[in-house]
Chain A
Amino acid sequence: MSARRPLPRWADILLLPAINLAMAFLISGLVVLMIGENPLYAVQVILYGAFGYGDGVGYTLYYATNFIFTGLAFAIAAHAGLFNIGGNGQAYVAGLGAILVALALDQTHWLITMPLAMIAAGVFGGIWGLIPGYLQAKRGSHVVITTIMFNFIAAALMVYMLNRVLKAPNTMAPESETLDIGGRVPQLREFIPFFGYSPVNLTIVVAIAFLVGAYILIWRTKLGYQLRTLGHNPVASRYAGMSNSKLIMIAMTLSGACAGMVAINEVLGVQNRLVLDFVADAGFVGIAVALIGRNHPIGIGLAAVLFGALYQGGQELQFVIPAVTREMIEVIQALIILFTGAMEGLFRPALERGFVLMSVEQKAEATARATVDSES
C-alpha cells in the first residue's frame, strides 16, 4: 500500500458523497438513454415537478418529512453500531398507535390529538424497535435479521388489524374509519396558499425539530456520547462501565420511535385514516437518506429533500414521459445506496491518493503519523 491517508474532512463529507451521487445519476441516465428517452429532459421534468410550482414543492416537502424521520431512525441506530433495517415495520406498527389515539380524540382539537398521537406512535414504533433491540442485547440475535423478520410480522399484523379489528363498518376496503377534523394535523396550505392542494402539513415542523433534537442527542448529551462509544468500540464501552445491553435497547427504541413519526405525517396529516401499506417503503428510503447524509442531521435533512424531490419529480416524470415510470426513482435510490453505502471503496482509495499527491503541507502530519507504533 503506497501513500494513502484519510481524506480531509470536507472531501470526506462533501466530495465523496457528491461523486457517488453523480455515479448513481449517471448510470440512471444511461438506463433512460437505453430505452430511447432523453435523460437531460427527464432531469428537467423532475426538477420542474419537484420545485417548479407550489403543489410540487408541497409534495416534495411532504415526502421529505417521511424521509427525515426514517433517515434519522437509521442514523440513530447506526451511531450505536446497529443496522436497523426495520424502519418500515416500525413506522407501520406506529400507525396503530396513531390511529387509536386520533380516533379517540378526533372530537377535540388537533393541539390535543397531535402530541398524544405522537406519543402513541412513538411508543408503538419504539416497541417494534425495542424487541429486536432486546433480542440483540440479551439473546445475541442479529438485529439485521430480526428487523427484517419484524417487517414481515408487522405487515401480517397490520393486514389482520385492518381487516378484522379496525375496519370501518360501512366500507369494503381494509381501512379504518376516517378521522374527524379534531384528529387531523393542519395542512400548510391553510396558512400558505402557495402549496396549492399538496399534503405537506405541520408534521414537517416536527421533523425539523427532530433533526435539531437528534443533533443534540448524538453530539451534545452524555447518552449520545455513550451511544457513539458503543458504536465505535463496544469493548471500550463495557470497560467504561456503560451497559451495552441497555444502550442497544435505548438506541433501537429511539430509532423505532423516530420511524414511527411517519405515521403522524401519513395517518393524521394526509390519509386521515389508517390504510394498508401507508409507509410505502419510506423505511428503505431512510437507509439511502442516512447513508448519503452521512448519519448527520444536516446531511439527512438535505438528502431527505433530495429524495422528496425525486419522488415527487418521479410522479411528474411518469406523467410527462410515460415510458419512464416512477420505478426509475427506485432504481436511482438503489444505485445511491449501492455507491454510497456498499461501494464506497470504489472511489475513496483513488481520492485519497490524489490528495496525498496534491498536498505538500500535509506531509508534516503524515510524518507525525509515522511515529504510530506498529504492533507487528
Chain B
Amino acid sequence: MSADNEKQQRPDSAAARPGARSEWAIELEKINKSFGAVHANKDIDLKVRRGTIHGIVGENGAGKSTLMSILYGFYTADSGTIRVNGEPHAITDSRHALALGIGMVHQHFMLVDNMTVLDNVILGAEDSPFLNKTLSRARQQLIKLGEEYSLEVDPDALIENISVGQQQRVEILKALFRGADILILDEPTGVLTPAEADHLFRVLETLRAEGKTVILITHKLREIMAITDEVSVMRQGEMVETLQTKDTNPEQIAELMVGRRVLLQVEKQPATPGGVVLEVENLSVRDRLGVDRVKDVSFSVRAGEIVGIAGVAGNGQSELLEAISGISDPHSGSVRINGQTLDMRGDDGAARARRAGLAHVPEDRHRMGLVVTFEEWENSILGYETYPNYGKGAILDSAAAQAEAQKRIEMFDIRPANIKLKTANFSGGNQQKIVLAREMDRDLEVLVVGQPTRGVDIGAIEFIHKQIIKMRDAGKAVLLVSVELDEIRSLSDRILVMFDGKLVGEADPQTASERDLGMMMAGVEQAEAAE
C-alpha cells in the first residue's frame, strides 16, 4: 500500500524532503503573528510527531486557524521558525508549503464552484502549459485514490452540484494528488453529519496507517478523544499544553481550553409556561438554487419558556431563523405571533415581524446584526429607526437615540462605555451585548436568538445566558438556536432537534442523554445506522 503511494508522489516533492527520517514532521518555535492590534499567535511552540494524528483544540478565536495558515504559507509569521522533517524552512507562500508536502483542507473550502472536480484538483499542480496530459493523468489517479481511501467523487461533476461532504473529499484529494504527506484539516466536521464525520475519521486512520501525518483542528472534544494520538490546547493566541490523548480526558482539555472549570449548568428555576405566543406552521424554505433548506417545520413556543433547537450546523437552522424573523420570504407555511399571521412578502418582512413583537439576535453579528462602521449609538437603533421614540416625522432624533444608547451601555455593562466609538472597535462579547441590549430592551413578545455566545469570551457568556433566562422569567417566549449542545441543554426548557431541514425529535433537557440527542442530530432513522 505504502509502496504504491510512494510511486504516486511527484518526484520534485519527494526530493524536497531530505530529512524524511526525522521523528518530527513539524516543529514550530516561537511563532508570532499580529493582525493590526490583534495578537493572534503569541510565541507558539508545537511539535507534531510523524505518522500520528495530532489534534489542536481551542475556542473560537484561540488562534488555531491562524497558526495552521502560517504553516501552510497562507499567512507569513511576524517571527519564529518552522522546521519541516527536521529542516528549517521560511514558508513564504502556499506553493512552498505544497512543495514540502504540506496540504491543507480549509474550513471554508477553497474550490471554484463553476469548475469541475478534475479542474479543481489540478489547479496549481498542472504538469505543463497544456492541460490534456495532466487531465488524463489526474483522472486516473483520482479514481485510484478514490478507491484506495474510499473518497469516490465524479471527476466531471461541477463543484456547485455536489454535496458539502463530497466537496470535502475533493479538498482531501487535492492534497493527496499533490503528494501531501502532512495533511492539515481545519474544523472538518462542522458541516458534516455524524455519519459523514465517522467516514472522514476512517479516512484519516487509513492515512495514518500509511505513515502520513494529520493535524486536526477542532473545538469538539469528542473528535479529539476519538481519533487523535496527541492533542495540543490553545487559548487566546497561546499554546497552553500538549498531551497524550490516552493520558487525558475531556474535562481536563476543556479546563485547559477555557482556563477554568466550565460552567455547564446555568442556574435557573423551573419554567412556568403560559399561553402559546409563537406558532410556526408547515414552514418550508427553498434557497436560490432550488434546494429545500427547511422542510415542513411546525412547532410552537409558549410564554415563559425557552425552546432550544439543536442540530449540526448547516441543517437548516439558519434558514429557519431567517424565515421566522421575516428576513427571507419562506417558500410556504406561516408564522403567527399571538394568533396574528406575519406578512412575509417583499424584502422588508423583518420590519413587520419586529412590529408584531419579535426581537431577533442574529447568528452572525458582524455580517447581519451590526453595521461595524457605524458609531455604537447608531447600531443601538438598527431596525427600530423609524419608531416614534427616535422622532415622529422623517427627521431622526439623534439626541433621544444617544440618550437611550447611553442608558443601555450601563444596563448591559458594555465596554468601553462610549456611544460615539466605532462599533468595530468593541470586542466580540461587547458587540454581542450591543445587539442583545438593542433587541431585549423593549416591549417584545418573542425573542429569537441564534448562536448567542459564538466568539464571545467566557465572562460575557455567563452574562448573556443570564439575560436570556431573565427574558424567559419575564414571561417572554424565547427560541434559541445553537450548535453548542451544552448551551442548548443548559438553557432550554424544551429541545427540538433539527436534521436535514426537518424537525426530527423533541427531548426534555432534564432526562435526555447526550447520546440520544446525538443520535437524533445524526438523523439515525434516515441515514444508514452509524456503526
Q: Are A and B in contact, CB atoms below 8 Å, in the complex?
A: yes
Q: Flag if B65 contacts A373 (CB, 8 Å).
A: no
Kindly state the separation between the CA atoms of A164 and B236 in the bound complex, as whole angstroms.
Answer: 73
Partner of A375, one of B60, B350, B368, B398: B60
Kindly state the separation between the CA atoms of A374 and B61 in the bound complex, as whole angstroms.
Answer: 5
Q: Flag if A243 contacts B346 (CB, 8 Å).
A: yes
Kindly state the separation between the CA atoms of A325 and B398 in the bound complex, as whole angstroms.
Answer: 50
Hey, which chain A residues are within 8 Å of B456, CB to CB? 373
> From residue A80, how far is it (CB to closest CB) to chain B in Å?
13
Q: Flag if B327 contacts A224 (CB, 8 Å).
A: no
If A226-B385, A232-B374, A369-B425 touch, does A241 touch B394 (CB 8 Å cutoff)? Answer: no
Q: Flag if B369 contacts A239 (CB, 8 Å).
A: yes
Partner of B367, one of A2, A235, A368, A376: A235
Q: Flag if B382 contacts A372 (CB, 8 Å).
A: no
0/1 per residue, A1-41, Cβ < 8 Å to B?
11111000000000000000000000000000000000000
Is there a chain B Cβ closer than 8 Å to A278's Cβ? no
If A222-B394, A374-B66 touch, does A238 touch B347 (CB 8 Å cutoff)? Answer: yes
Is there a chain B Cβ closer than 8 Å to A371's Cβ? yes
Hey, which chain B residues are within 8 Å of A241, CB to CB? 326, 348-354, 383
> From residue A43, how far is it (CB to closest CB) to chain B in Å?
38
Q: Flag if B34 contacts A1 (CB, 8 Å).
A: yes
Q: Flag if A225 contacts B378 (CB, 8 Å).
A: yes
Q: Flag if A236 contacts B428 (CB, 8 Å).
A: no
Interface magnitude class on chain A: 35 or more
0/1 per residue, B54-72, Cβ < 8 Å to A?
0000001111111000000
Hey, which chain A residues are within 8 Å of B78, CB to CB? 2
> From residue A187, how far is it (CB to closest CB) to chain B in Å?
35
Hey, which chain A residues are within 8 Å of B40, CB to CB? 374, 376
Partner of B391, one of A222, A371, A375: A222
Hey, which chain B residues are within 8 Å of A170, CB to CB? none
> From residue B467, how far is it (CB to closest CB) to chain A in Å?
19
Interface centre among A238, A239, A371 (most CB of B within 10 A): A239
Hey, which chain B residues are within 8 Å of A205, CB to CB? none
Hey, which chain B residues are within 8 Å of A233, CB to CB? 367, 370-373
> From residue B432, how far is it (CB to closest CB) to chain A in Å?
10
Kindly state the separation between the CA atoms of A222 and B350 in the bound complex, as whole angstroms.
Answer: 17
A366 (CB) vs chain B CBs: closest residue = B37
Query: Within B341-378, which residues are at the interface with A (CB < 8 Å)?
Result: 346-354, 360, 362, 367-374, 378
Hey, which chain A residues are within 8 Å of B35, CB to CB? 1, 374
Kindly state the separation between the CA atoms of A292 and B326 in the bound complex, as whole angstroms.
Answer: 40
Is there a chain B Cβ closer than 8 Å to A116's Cβ? no
Kindly state the separation between the CA atoms of A233 and B391 in the bound complex, as whole angstroms.
Answer: 23
Hey, which chain B residues are within 8 Å of A221, CB to CB? 394-396
Is there a chain B Cβ closer than 8 Å to A318's Cβ? no
Kindly state the separation between the CA atoms of A366 and B425 in the bound complex, as whole angstroms.
Answer: 9
Partner of B37, one of A222, A232, A367: A367
If A236-B371, A370-B38 touch, does A243 touch B427 (CB 8 Å cutoff)? Answer: no
Kindly state the separation between the CA atoms of A100 and B374 in the bound complex, as whole angstroms.
Answer: 44
Partner of A239, one of B327, B378, B390, B429: B327
Kindly state the separation between the CA atoms of A223 and B351 in the bound complex, as whole angstroms.
Answer: 14
Hey, which chain B residues are within 8 Å of A367, CB to CB? 37
Kindly state the separation between the CA atoms of A374 and B60 in the bound complex, as whole angstroms.
Answer: 8
Is there a chain B Cβ closer than 8 Å to A142's Cβ? no
0/1 per residue, B32-49, Cβ < 8 Å to A?
001111111000000000
Is there a chain B Cβ closer than 8 Å to A245's Cβ? yes
Is there a chain B Cβ closer than 8 Å to A340's Cβ? no
Hey, which chain B residues are within 8 Å of A223, CB to CB? 394
Hey, which chain A residues are within 8 Å of B346, CB to CB? 243
Kindly state the separation between the CA atoms of A80 and B123 in the bound complex, as whole angstroms.
Answer: 38
Q: Flag if A373 contacts B455 (CB, 8 Å).
A: yes
Is there a chain B Cβ closer than 8 Å to A202's Cβ? no
Is there a chain A Cβ closer than 8 Å to B211's Cβ? no
Is there a chain B Cβ closer than 8 Å to A240's Cβ? yes
Query: Within A323-376, which residues are at the interface with B (CB < 8 Å)?
Result: 365-376
Hey, which chain A residues are within 8 Å of B370, CB to CB? 233, 236
Q: Flag if B61 contacts A220 (CB, 8 Å).
A: no
Is there a chain A Cβ closer than 8 Å to B416's Cβ? yes
Kindly state the separation between the CA atoms of A240 and B378 in the bound complex, as whole angstroms.
Answer: 12
Hey, which chain B residues are within 8 Å of A243, CB to CB? 346-348, 351
Partner of A222, one of B60, B374, B396: B396
Is there a chain B Cβ closer than 8 Å to A144's Cβ? no
Hey, which chain B residues are within 8 Å of A374, CB to CB? 35, 38, 40, 61, 63, 66
Q: Flag if B39 contacts A370 (CB, 8 Å).
A: yes
Hey, which chain B residues are within 8 Å of A244, CB to CB? 347
Is there a chain A Cβ closer than 8 Å to B94's Cβ? no
Hey, which chain A residues are within 8 Å of B386, CB to CB? 222
0/1 per residue, B444-472, Cβ < 8 Å to A?
00000000000111000000000000000
Query: Within B60-95, which residues are at the interface with A (CB < 8 Å)?
Result: 60-66, 78
Partner of B427, one of A1, A228, A373: A373
Hey, which chain A residues are within 8 Å of B63, CB to CB? 374, 376
Q: Flag if A5 contacts B350 (CB, 8 Å).
A: no
Q: Which A-B residue pairs are the 9 nearest by beta carbons?
A: A241-B351, A373-B428, A241-B350, A240-B383, A243-B348, A376-B65, A369-B37, A370-B37, A371-B427
Interface set of B (CB-CB < 8 Å, partner A): 34-40, 60-66, 78, 325-327, 346-354, 360, 362, 367-374, 378, 381-383, 385-386, 390-391, 394-396, 398, 416, 424-429, 455-457
